[in-house]
Each structure stands twice: as structure tokens, then as C-alpha cells.
Amino acid sequence: MFDLPVLSLMTFLPLVGVLFIVSVRSTDEEVMARNAKNTALFTSLFTTALGVYLAMQFDPADAGFQFVERMEWFPSLGISYYMGVDGISLFFVLLSAFLVPICILASWHSIKTRVKEFMIAFLILESLMIGTFCALDMFLFYVFFEAVLIPMFIIIGVWGGARRVYSAYKFFLYTLLGSVLMLVAMLVLYAQVGTSEIPVLMENPVVRDLQIWLWLAVFASFAVKMPMWPVHTWLPDAHVEAPTAGSVILAGVLLKMGGYGFLRFSLPMFPEASEVFAPMVFWLSVVAIIYTSLVALVQEDIKKLIAYSSVAHMGYVTLGIFTATTQGIEGGIFQMISHGLISGALFLSVGVIYDRLHTREIGRYGGIVKNMPKYATVFMILMLGSVGLPGTSGFVGEFLTLVGIYQVDTLVTLFAATGLIVGAPYMLYLYRRVVFGKQVNDDAAKMSDLNLRELSLFIPLVAMVIYFGFFPGYILDRINPSVDRLISTYESGLQKGEMRRAALLEAAQVKPAAGLDTQAVGTVPAFAPVHTDDAMDGGDLPMPIINYNE
Amino acid sequence: MTFEYLAVFSPLLGFIISFLFGKKIGARGSQIVTCGLMFVAAFSAINLFFSVILGGTQYVVPLAEWVSSDFFSANWALRFDTLSVVMMCVITIVSTCVHVYSVGYMSHDPHRSRFMSYLSLFTFAMLMLVSADNLLQLFFGWEGVGLASYLLIGFWNTKDSANSAAMKAFIVNRVGDFGLALGIMACFVVFGSINFETIFAGVESKQDLSVNFVGFDVHALTLIGLLLFTGAVGKSAQLGLHTWLPDAMEGPTPVSALIHAATMVTAGVFLVARFSPLYEYAPIALMVITIFGACTALVAATIGLTQFDIKRVIAYSTMSQLGYMFFALGVSAYGAAIFHLMTHAFFKALLFLGAGSVIHAMSDEQDMRNMGGIWKKIPFTYAMMWIGSLALAGVPLFAGYYSKDMIIEVAYADQTWFGDLAFTFGIIAAALTAFYSWRLILLTFHGKPRADKHVMDHVHESPPVMTAPLLVLAVGAIFSGAVFYNGFVGGHHDAHHGEAAVHAEVTPHAGDDMHHDTHAEVAHAEEGHHDLFAALNDRNLFWQNAIKVLPENDTVDAAHSVPFWVKKLPILMSALGIALAYIFYLVAPSLPALFSKAFKPVHSLFFRKWYFDELYDYIFVKNSLRLGLWFTWADRRIIDRFGPDGFANASAFVAKCSSRFQSGFIYQYAFVMLIGLVLAMLWIAPFDFSGLIDVLKSNFGK
């Protein structure tokens, strides 16, 4: 149906750009840098163009995976190169493709050393990000998901600020810990169900007790990426030390991998465990919203402040996703996209003044509305988006998640909705201290307003923040069918679990001593064999490789 | 159909043009564009008013889809019924006056384009609020006016006090919005929709419904009513969330007139009136509203007595008058509340703009202690302030007389304990209102000049561009009461009519089912067209179905037959207040000081605004910052220490220990090997040394 392998093209085009950059050799440092920048920009722009094509060809009514590509990879193990997007992943792919050229443009002058390597790292990062959101094979996903860590680690560690090494290692340590557990979970899942194809796995949940363990294992990975409280402390450090472009991509795309993981793995594959752990997630999210908002209030470092605000905004996402309601999940996805735009742009705007004054300390600025009126306007709109004012995209996501959670638990809602209150002061206070007030620092008073290059970075972002605030339909209409499908998968998973337990209970009552070990039947064994009628409705699945009862 | 779009979107266009192209078209260009478009909007709104009142039609103009997620859907749409067109007329007329006035008032400001654009932005948001046909669009307008208010309070953004006031306004309002947002969600869960039509149609069937909220089973409609009212408390500066309003006076005076007196702060009143079909079935919510309103009316008036900043006095007066409106709502007299909203908009905007004219004349002096003796120099402004104050005090024939007395009468007619409370507080506040109004006039205009000579020499009447709007508002402040009395609250109650038309609706719009369509046809057939005179003389014809009052709650009807003394008491109290003010500030000017000394604790309670600010600062502001610092500490010292840093330190420690073994000295390695060897042998052959001993004996034991 689709002749063009768009997803593979989008994923690997940046790597072609890398090849170009590597293959040009010159003794002149400047020529190499310029070549690298131009190549990176054009490759990423071309990827964006492919993204536009993808968005236009995407069928909004289709809930399933589109643009599916499939090639054998490890045929003996049944692992394949399997790509596709649905409404849930589409916008993350687009967001990645959209933000990378902006990041490259933002680094045009601010990256002065090892320009070539920086551009290479960024293109590799883009390739891996897009791959993560397109992968439909669990192990393929894992490879992309984990590999993202490497270029990001390098970007922070090489082009970062003074404490970059500490931050880079902290980032690495946190995320690695989660990934190891996730790999174990994937191997167990593979062993149990016998396939690594995500769509099949979604339809075949394992037994409840195993779900609990696997859920916790993947949660460790996604919660760190998100990041959820209390495993969020790597984020402020990483943001503070990362170069502007690194921060943008970190806040804009990398954090969304956690939420995407919850949507792809936790909710559909482990529905019963998700139900069990949902209250825990809710309260962690509520703590994140309130705790980090208050922490943000007392920060003196602009980037740290915005980083903490990210944690609070991601709190809404986790809250929404685990409500398993249409509004909650759609709100969560929308919030992620909106946060990608807003916080990405906020980090860009921090970069703008950092480039001029080389400090992130709030107290060093003040009254810059006088010499930077355009900047003040852009920053104002972004601030309002972050606060979640209706008419910006920030509102839609936040409000929908709250509508979702209200249907599930009003007490949680009561606390989460205080985010409306505590979410405002820190941004207003930041704005007041940086943009308004008297000009106390002569250097800050002399900063020049946004130039054409910077304006061209902000205008698309700001336009989208406002457009999606007034007309979120473009996004909501496309994610809706897939979300409905996700919810029905989730609910049928719960039903299957219910039936399975009922069947076991019945078996225990009907033939208590029919040659079976009574003790084992009375309590559901942790590694029970897969019931053929459950696991096999996927069709022609290979038999489970390991049966733990043997 | 064009008037509908023009009325709402002209201000938006004005905002966009003067904001984006303000530099290109210049300050004068922005002023012409925004004012011109405001005239268009006002003209359209008045047109709509007549077409809705005369045509007897209510309708919704759908614009576009906004948020749609499963059943949770909200469209951009414009709803036109009596309530919304009345609000639109008030908003656009006052806004036009303020736009024009601002041309003169802000003439020395370098950012005139920006100022005009913000004013237009505000007007647009306010129009979106009142013309919403669902709660989400209302919320959009609600937050939009909050944003405009924030921007305009902090317009002089180099002033720290202005920035603080702007932030305070935003954040305190957010506390109210928190309640409003929860109310919207509760509405969605209870009614399955956030469209007004669906909600109002479902109210009757849900009147006994209980829902669980944070673990308690509560009456659903009361819950929704109270949550929505929380929003109103914030936006309309009712007691508890009022602290932002006096501080908001840091903004330029036209802003205070438009936003913090005439329109935005009345959004809460509008919200409750809009939800009259729901509140009618939530008597406890109504009771709470009455009590809040009554207390606000009284407390604000007491504070107003003691303030010296001319704008703050009027601000507290606004708060007090909003209290009146709320207790009118609380006793189901929605028409009376909106009536007072309208008259108040005119006379309070007049007072504010008049005060602005005074401040302008006095070279930006706002403290009444530094004024006095200027009435001869600015006679026009003086006259305007008199008209405004007469209307505010409720002197017969002026607008306030009709609306305020009506409110006091409905409170009496309610015949409940909280109605009586409101009546008592209302009567006392009426005297206080008259007192502080004349205190303001006497301190500002009469007595000996207390300003220095330089300022006094500069006192001058404002230019025509500022006085003309005052004149328009003065006309409203004088005549709006008498002209619209019968329409808003007059006429006889017709129970049958009210009942039949309860659900009558509206031209079909997206999401409406057949059920509604049939109702709409019935309504059209019943009502049809009627003439202006009839509409303005019968409140049922006037309001149509925009507000709903249950027959047994119809206090407006009952208010027409209250005892004679109830009707006359407010005027008496006002007269008393005015007389006292004359004695205190003209006849015996030493009295105020004496009184404030004699009643020191009471005076300081009033003067320090009942210590709300201090209390909130202590409880909320300080503690938030403290918690923030504590959590920051916890991030470093607890999470990091036992998390990644702890892990890193632990592994570093282990590595350090194990690195000791790699010293590089052969003899150490040999020694360790030897020990290992011995240990291994011991492990292999524990306690069985007999063989070894035999070997040793055979070799060495000779």
C-alpha cells in the first residue's frame, strides 16, 4: 500500500548525513565545521520533510499500525526488523523530526569546539529517537531505546558546563539501572509468550503474578526516563549542564520515551499489574506535581527551574496514562507533545540569554523587556503555555488528564488540581525577575533582541503552541482511534485475567486431588504455564520456548 | 449573522493589529484602530440586544471544534440570550468609553500601542466568557480576562509593587480557578457533558443524585454549585480570595475602571446567574453564596471607611457592591443581581475614571490626604464624581437607587435566616457606603488644599477625550436604573410562562438531539415577536429563558410587596451616612482622628484590612517557600545521597578497598598466595593432618 518505506527512511537518513560529514576531510577546521553544520541541517530538514509527508499520508481513522515494514533479522529467534506507527507514536516521531533541525540551528554559533562531532552525535541521536518510536519489535525497541543514551551522554559530557561529568554519569547511572531490569523483563516476556512482536504481546498478557514483576521491571526504566518522583534528580543536573540543544532534545523528546513506554508496554501488556499499581502511580505523580513545583519556586538557576517544572508537567502525563480513560490517556499524550514544544522552546529561550550573558543565574538578569521586547513576548507566551493557560497547548493536555483522573479518583484529583495553583507562581516569579523589574545589571541591559535566526526558531514553536491551544483537534483526532484501541486492549486484558483466575479457582474446586499438587493450585503460581487458549489467539505463534514447570 | 461576529471579534482584531503592528502604525494608529473597532463592537452588541429582546429568540452560533475527547467535547461557539447580550452591551459600552479615555490618560506613556492592545484583548476574552455555550469556553474567557488583568496590572513593569500586584492577582485567581476547574469536571461526570444546554436539561432529573467526592457522599448539584462558586469567589473578589483586588489598583486607572470595577470582577456574578437552572436545585449552595455575599458587602465597606488611597476606597466599594450582587444571587434574585451589575458598571466606571481624572489633574497623586480644595479647578470632574457617588449611595432617581434597593428588598423578602443576615448587613453597608463615598468627595475636593503649591498650580481639567467618556457613563449612571427597572426586575410573575419555557431552546447546534429541537419549536411558537415596550416592562418577556427561578423561590416578585419601612430604610441609611460624612470631614474635621484613637483596635482592624494579607503571607507564601527550600534540600541530601551518589560512593569505596590488594609488591602477593593455599588445604582436608604428619615424620624425624 505504501511504497515508500518512510519510517526506515526517516530513521536512517540522519545516519547518511553522518556518513557525509565523516567522509569530508579537510585540514581547515572552519571548513569542516561549516560543512558539518550545513550537512546536519539539511539532513534533518529533509527528515522533517519526510515527517510532513508521513503526517499527510497517515490515515486518521485507522487505529492500527500504519506504514508497517518488516524484514527478518534473527529468523531463528523470530526477532525481526519491524517498524510501524499508530496514532500514539505518530506525533512523537514528528516531534523528534521537528525539533532536531531547530536544535541544530540553535547550536549554530553556541557550539564552538568539536563542531563536527557534535553534529554527528546529534544526527545519530535523531536516528535513534525516531527508531525508538517506530520500532514494533521489542528487542529492536530496546536497542534504539538504550542506544539513545550514548549520544546524549556524550553531548552532556563533552559540550556541557562545569559539572558536566558528574551530570553525565548521574544521567547514565540512573537510566542504566532501569534498562537492565527492563532487559530482564523483556527476556522473560519473550520466553513466556514466545514472540518479541509488540502488537502480539499486547494481545497476550501473561499471568497476573508475572505481570506484577515485569511491570515493576519496566516501570523502573520508564519512570527514570519520565522522570517520576523520586527518581527525578538526574534531570535538573543533566539540564543544567547540557548545552542548549541537548536540553531542548532532552526535554522535548527523551522524556517522552518514558511515557511512550508506559503506553506501549505497561498498560497493554500488563493490564492487571497496571490496575494494581495505578494508585501508586497516581500518588507519585501528585507528589511530583506539588513537590517539584515548590522546589522550582526557590531555584536561582533558570535551567534548573524549568527542569523541575518538567518533572511537574510529566506528573500529569503519568497521572493521565494510568487512569486508562480516554480523556486521561489522550490528555497524557497531548501533554507530552505540548510539553515537548513548550519546554523545548523554553530551554531555547534560556539559551538565547545564556549566549549573551553566559550565566544562568536569575538575579543577574532583570528588566530585559526594555532592550529585548520581542524576546519578552516570546518568553511570555511560552510562560503562559507552561502555566497552562487556555488558548495554549499546555491547557488542553493538563485539563484532559484532570478530567480523566476525576472519573477514577476524586481525592487524587483534588491534590493534582492544586497544580493549577502551584504551577503558576514559579513561572510568573521567574518571568518577573528576568524580564520585568528594574535593570540592575548593565550587561543585561545591553543585550540585543532576538535576531532573525533566533526568531525563525521560535516562530514555528510559538505558532504551534497557540494553534494547538485553539485547535487541538488535529492531534486529538489522530490519536483517538489508537487510544480507544489501547483501552479496549487494556480492558480485554483485564477480562482475560479475570477469566483465567476464575478458571483456576474452578479447577481447584472441582478436582482438588486429581493428581495435581494441591498447594500449587490453591495459590496462583508465579510462573504458571501459558494457557494455550489465552496465549494462542494471536494465531500462528511459535510455542513457548521455556516452560517453567518442566 | 454578521453582528454576532463583529461584536465578539472586533476587539480581537484590534488586539492583533495593535499588538503585532503597533510599531508600524504608531501609537496614534493603534488608538484609532482599537477605538474604532470597539465602536463597531459596541454598535453590534446593542443591535444584538434589541434583536434578542425583540425577537424573543435565543440561539447559538457554532464556530469550530475545540477539545473533543470521546464524550468530553467543547466547541467554540457564541451563545446569544438575554443574559449574554446584556453582558455584552455593558462590556462593550464601558470598554469603548475606557478605550477612548485611555487615549487621553495614557498620552504620556511610551507604550500606548501595547496598552490599547491589552485593553482590546481583555474585551475579547470577556466577550468570549459571556457568550460561551459550554463551561470550557467559559473557562477560556475566565482565564483570558485573568491574563489581561495580569498584563495590565503589571503594565508599568519597572515598578516592583505593580509586578507583585500582578502576580498576586494571577495566583489568587488561580485558587478560584482550581475550584472552577473541579466544578467543570464534576459537571462532566454528573451530566456527561459540559454544554450548558445538556446540563440545564439534566438538572431536574439529577436533583436527588448523590456522588462521591473525596470519600464523602454529597449532593451532586450542591457540590457543583459550590465548586463553581469557588471560581466566582476568586474572580469576583469575595471574602477570602479578595486580597488581590485592592492591590490591583497598581494598574493604570482606566484598567481599574474597566476590569476591576465594571466587567471582569462581575464574571463571578455572571457565572452564578448563568447557572441559575442548577443553583435553583442546590439550596445549600445558594445559602453559602448569600452568606459570602453579605459578609463581603459589610467587611469591604468597613475597610473602605479607613483607606486614604482614592483608588483603594473605590476598590473596596466595588468589592462591597459585588457582595450585594452575590447575596441577591443567593436569594434567587438573579435578575436583580444582573440589574445591579449593569448599573454598577456605569457608576463605578464613572467613579474610577473620575478618580483617574483627579489623579491626572493632581500630577499622579493618589493619597487623599494630599488633596482637597480643588473642586473649583476641575468642576466637570467634580460633578461627575457627584453623579457617581449619588448613584452608588442609592439616592432616588439615580441608577443605584433602583438596583441596590431592589437587592435589599429581595434579601428581606427571602424570609430565611441568611436572607435576614444579608438584609441586616446590606442595610449597615448602605450607610457605610454613603459615608465613605462622601468622605472621598469631601477629602478630595473640599477643605483646604493640602497639596504643595507646584501641584496645585498644575491642577487642570482633563481634555475632552477624557471628559466625553465620563459624560456617556454619567448618562448610564443616571438613567440606566429607571429605564431598565421593569425589564430586569419589574412586571408580574407568571408561573405558567416560566414553567413552559424552562427548557425552550435554541437553534440546533452540534450535538443537539431531536429532543431539543422539538422544544425549540414549541418555544418559538409560544413566544414569537413582541414590541420593545412590552419587553422592557415585563421581566419574563425580557429574560425569556436566560435565567430560571423556581416559582417558590421568586423573591423578586415578593420584593414588590415588602413593608413600607423596608423600602424606605436604605434611603434613610444613605442619608445618615452622607450626613455623618459631612459632620466628620467638613463641620468638625478633628473628629476622625478622635474616633480612630478612641476605637483604636477596631480602626486598626479596618485599616489593616482585617489582616488577611498578613495571615495569607504567613500561612501560604512563607510556608511554600520554606517547603520549596526543604524539598530542594531533600533532593540533594536524601534522594541523591541514598540514590545515585550513595551508589557511586559505595562502589568507589569497594573499589578503593579492593585496590589495596594490588600494591605491586611481590612479597605481598606471595604471602597472600601462601595464606590462600593454606586455607584451601584446610578446607579440603579439615582436621585430618595424620597423613601430613606421617610424611613429615618419615622425612625429618630420623
Count how many Cα atoms sit within 13 Å of the Cα of residue A386 in the half-sphere of its side chain. Answer: 33
Mean pLDDT of A419-446: 88
| Region for A71 from its dihedrals, namely left if φ exceeds 0, alpha if ψ lies in -120 to 50, beta otherwise | beta
List, for residues A127-160, the tens digit of each pLDDT value. 999 999 999 999 899 999 988 888 988 888 888 8
Q: Is A420 on the interface with B (CB under 8 A)?
A: yes
In order, the DSSP letters of A499-529 are HHHHHHHHHHHH-TTSSS-HHHHHS--TTPP
Find which of A174, A284, A372, A410 to mutate to test the B interface (most B CBs within 10 Å of its CB). A410
What pLDDT score was predicted for residue B491? 65
How many residues can be counted in chain B?
A: 702
Q: Is A53 on the interface with B (CB under 8 A)?
A: no
List, for residues B286-304, the tens digit of each pLDDT value. 999 999 999 999 999 999 8
| Of A291, A410, A429, Cβ closest to residue B214 | A410
∠ at Cα B132 (B128, B137), nearest 5°? 80
Can you tell me the distance from the alpha carbon of B411 to that of A261, in angstroms, rounded to the nearest whole number? 59
| Of B70, B181, B627, Cβ closest to residue A402 | B181
What pLDDT score was predicted for residue B101? 93
List, for residues B461-498, the tens digit of each pLDDT value. 888 888 899 999 999 999 988 888 888 887 654 444 44
Sequence-ordered alpha helix ranges (H) in A322-451: 326-357, 373-387, 393-406, 410-417, 419-422, 425-434, 442-445
Mean pLDDT of A64-83: 86
Q: Are strands B72-80 and B59-69 parallel, antiparallel or unpaired?
A: antiparallel
State which H helix or E strand residue B80 sits in. Answer: strand B72-80
How far off is chain B from A329, nearest CA to CA, in Å? 10
- Look up residue A459 and give its three cell numbers: 516562530
Find which of A177, A224, A231, A233 to mutate to test the B interface (most B CBs within 10 Å of its CB). A233
pLDDT value at B695 more than 80: no
pLDDT value at B271 more than 90: yes
Residue keyed to cell 512523537: A92
| Partners of residue A476 in chain B, C-beta under 8 Å | 67-69
What pLDDT score was predicted for residue B556? 84
| Partners of residue A170 in chain B, C-beta under 8 Å | 644
Long-range Cβ contact pairs of B3-6 (< 8 A, separation 24 or more)? B3/B44, B3/B47, B3/B48, B3/B51, B4/B44, B4/B48, B4/B61, B4/B78, B4/B80, B5/B61, B6/B40, B6/B41, B6/B44
Distance of CA B633 to the CA centre of its chain: 37
Can you tell me the distance from the alpha carbon of B620 to that of A422, in angstroms, rounded to the nearest whole number? 11
List C-alpha distances in Å: B453 to B291, B308, B363, B365, B459.
Answer: 48, 21, 12, 13, 10
Indicate yes or no: CB of A417 within 8 angstroms of CB of B182: yes
Mean pLDDT of A431-439: 89
pLDDT value at B542 more than 80: yes
What pLDDT score was predicted for residue B287? 94
Distance of CA A360 to the CA centre of its chain: 26
pLDDT value at A515 more than 50: no
Q: Is A525 on the interface with B (CB under 8 A)?
A: no
- Look up residue B522 and give its three cell numbers: 414549541
In sequence order, what are the beta bridge partners of A392? A390
Residue keyed to cell 512482536: A197
pLDDT value at B135 more than 90: yes
Average pLDDT over chain B, rounded to an integer = 85
What confidence tier does B354 reach under pLDDT thresholds 50, 70, 90?
very high
Residues 6+ apart with CB under 8 A from B130: B83, B84, B87, B88, B91, B141, B270
Domain residue spans in chain A? 6-491, 516-550
| Partners of residue A292 in chain B, C-beta under 8 Å | 631
Residues 6+ apart with CB under 8 A from B264: B122, B126, B145, B146, B148, B149, B235, B258
What pLDDT score was predicted for residue A534? 43
Q: ipTM score here?
A: 0.88
Percentage of chain A modeled with pLDDT above 90: 44
Reported pTM:
0.88
Can you tell me the distance from the alpha carbon of B526 to that of B521, in angstroms, rounded to the nearest whole number? 9
What confidence tier does B278 reach under pLDDT thresholds 50, 70, 90?
very high
Can you tell me the distance from the alpha carbon of B429 to that of B77, in angstroms, rounded to the nearest whole number? 40
| Partners of residue B157 in chain A, C-beta under 8 Å | 369, 435-437
Closest CA to B338 of B136, B533, B489: B489
Cα end-to-end distance, chain A, whole Å: 45
Average pLDDT over chain A, rounded to an integer = 86
Can you tell me the distance from the alpha carbon of B5 to that of B37, in angstroms, rounded to the nearest whole number? 12
Closest CA to B635 of A288, A412, A165: A288
What pLDDT score was predicted for residue B58? 83
Indicate yes or no: CB of B72 within 8 angstroms of CB of A410: no
| Of A292, A407, A438, Cβ closest to residue B189 | A407
List, for residues B9-47, the tens digit of each pLDDT value. 999 999 999 999 988 888 899 999 999 999 999 999 999
Closest CA to A46 of A145, A127, A132, A148: A127
SS3 B140: helix
Can you tell me the distance from the alpha carbon of A151 to that of A248, in angstroms, rounded to the nearest whole number? 14
* Across A361-375, A452-466, B494-508, least confident range: B494-508
Percentage of chain B modeled with pLDDT above 70: 92
What confidence tier does A511 reach under pLDDT thresholds 50, 70, 90?
low
SS3 A68: strand
List, for residues A290-326, the tens digit of each pLDDT value. 999 999 999 999 999 999 999 999 999 999 999 999 9
Can you tell me the distance from the alpha carbon of B157 to that of B78, in angstroms, rounded to the nearest whole number? 34
SS (H, E, C) A379-400: HHHHHHHHHCCECEHHHHHHHH
* A384, A428 contact by CB (below 8 A): no
pLDDT value at A125 more than 60: yes
Residue keyed to cell 466577550: B127
Burial tier of A531 (Cβ tally within 10 Å: 0-12, 13-18, 19+): middle
Can you tell me the distance from the alpha carbon of B180 to that of B195, in angstroms, rounded to the nearest whole number? 15
Indicate yes or no: CB of A418 within 8 angstroms of CB of B178: yes
Can you tell me the distance from the alpha carbon of B148 to that of A491, in angstroms, rounded to the nearest whole number? 45
pLDDT value at A493 more than 80: yes
Can you tell me the distance from the alpha carbon of B13 to that of B19, in angstroms, rounded to the nearest whole number? 10
What pLDDT score was predicted for residue B516? 41
Indicate yes or no: CB of B171 within 8 angstroms of CB of A421: yes
What pLDDT score was predicted for residue A528? 43
| Partners of residue A429 in chain B, C-beta under 8 Å | 167
pLDDT value at A410 more than 70: yes
Residues 6+ apart with CB under 8 A from A418: A289, A290, B178
List, for residues B69-81, the tens digit of each pLDDT value. 888 888 899 999 8
What pLDDT score was predicted for residue B16? 94
